[in-house]
Amino acid sequence: MYKEELLVYDQITQDPVIDQILEDINYLNNDVIQHRFMASLLRVAEAYDLHDHLIQSLLTYLLAMHENAFSLSLERNVDVPAQLKTLVMHDLSYFFDLYKNDLNDLTFDNKAIVSDYMHSRPIINKEIFDLLSELQNSLASATTVDEFYSILLQHYGRYGVGRYGLNKAFRLDDENKIVPITHIDDNTLEQLIGYESHKQQLTANTEAFLKGKKANNVLLYGDNGTGKSSSIKALLNRYYKDGLRMIEIYKHQFQQLPYVINELQNRNYKFIIFMDDLSFEEYETEYKYLKAVIEGGLEKKPDNILIYATSNRRHLIKETWNERNTDEINKNDTIQEKTSLVSRFGLQILYMRPNRKDFLSIVDGLAKQYNIDMDQETLHARALEWEIRNGGFTGRVAKQFINKILGE
C-alpha cells in the first residue's frame, strides 16, 4: 500500500520533504535514493525533535497532528460511525506496516542511525516530548491493526489532535494567524509564595470552567511585581492535561478577536484568552472591541472561552480630573463609558505589595525552593539591602534577589 491510497489520512503531510521520505522508503535498495532518504530524515529529525526510531517517531508526530473526520470526532467525544471506522482501518494498515518495517535495505550504519537516534537540540517542551514518546512506544508495541486503532482512539479522545492537542499556549503572529508558543515557563502556583486566597479564587473559577459550569472572566489588578501574570501562566501548567489552552493577545490585535473566537469555538478544549498588562490611554479606543466581545455584541461568546487579564489599573481606561470636573451635561455618560469595561469581568482580584514580613517570607520560600544554604539572618539582611536598591517589597524583587544569590 502507498501513501496515495490513503482515504482519511490522505493529506497526512503538507511538507514536501516528508512526502519524499514516505515515497523513498519503498525504494531503499537504490543507493542514490537511500542517500536522499537519510539526508531528508536527519533534516526532519532536527526540525521536529524526532528521536529513537526515526520512522516511528515521524509517523507518531504526523498521526498526532493530523486533523480529519476521525481524529476530530474523538476530540469532540463523538462516536465514530462504522463506515468511518472501516475507512480508518484501511489507512491504519499502511501506518502499521511502516511501524513494523525493519528497513533491511538500509546499510548497517544507516539502519543503526534510524533505529536509535538522539537529536542534539535541547528539549524545549518536555511535557509534549514525553506525551509523543509515550504514544510512539504504545504504537510501536501494537501487534495488530486493531490494537493500533485502539491506541489512537484513546489518545485522540484524551488529548485531542493537531496543534491544539499538542501545545499549551498560542499567540497571533504578524499575519494574525494563531501559532503555538513552544517555550513556556514551567512555574507552578505552589512556587508563588503567599496570595493563597487569590490563588484559591482563581483556581476555583478555572476548575468550574473546565467542568463546563458557569465561570467568570477574570481581572487581576494591583501593584507591579506581585505575581498577577505568573498566577495565570501557572494555571496552564496545572490544567493542561484537563484540556486548558491559552492564547495571548495584545490590545493592538483586538480587531482580530472575532476571528480568534470563530477559530476556537468548535474545538473541544477550554480556552483562556490572556491579556497581560491591559490598560488604555484616554485616546485609545481598542477597548470597544473588547467590550463587544465580552458582552454587548450580537454574537454570544462561546462557552469554551474566557478572558483573563492583568492590569495595574482597576478601571483599565485612563480617566482625567477634567472629565470629572467638566460642566458637560452628560459627563456621567462619559465616565460610565470609560469605567464600564471593568464591570464585564465578573471576578476581580486585587494583588497588593507584601509588607516587610511577607516579603521576607517570600524570600525564605524561594530560598528553600532553590536549596540556598545561607543562615536566615544573613539572607534577610541581604534581601532587605537588595530591596532598598531595586524597587521595594514585591515578589518580583524577591525573585530577582534569589537569582542574584544563585548567580554568585
178-351 is a CATH 3.40.50.300 domain: yes
Q: Is the dihedral of CA 234, 240, 242, 248 positive or negative?
A: positive
Amino acid 394: pLDDT: 87
227-266 pLDDT, tens digit per residue, is 899 999 999 989 988 999 999 998 888 888 888 999 998 8
CB-facing half-sphere around the CA of 153: CA atoms within 13 A? 14
Confidence of residue 392 (pLDDT cuts 50, 70, 90): confident
Least confident of 77-81, 302-306, 307-311, 312-316: 312-316
pLDDT > 90: what percent of the chain? Answer: 50
Phi first, then psi: what are they for 180, rounded to 5°?
-70, 150
Residue 297: pLDDT above 70?
A: no
Amino acid 193: pLDDT: 86
The residue extents of the domains of the chain are: 3-166, 178-351, 356-406
How is residue 302 annotated by DSSP?
Answer: P
138-191 pLDDT, tens digit per residue, is 999 999 999 999 999 999 998 899 999 889 999 999 888 999 988 887 788 888
pLDDT, mean over the chain: 87
Q: How far apart are CA 301 and CA 346, in angstroms?
A: 14
Confidence of residue 313 (pLDDT cuts 50, 70, 90): confident
Amino acid 84 reads L
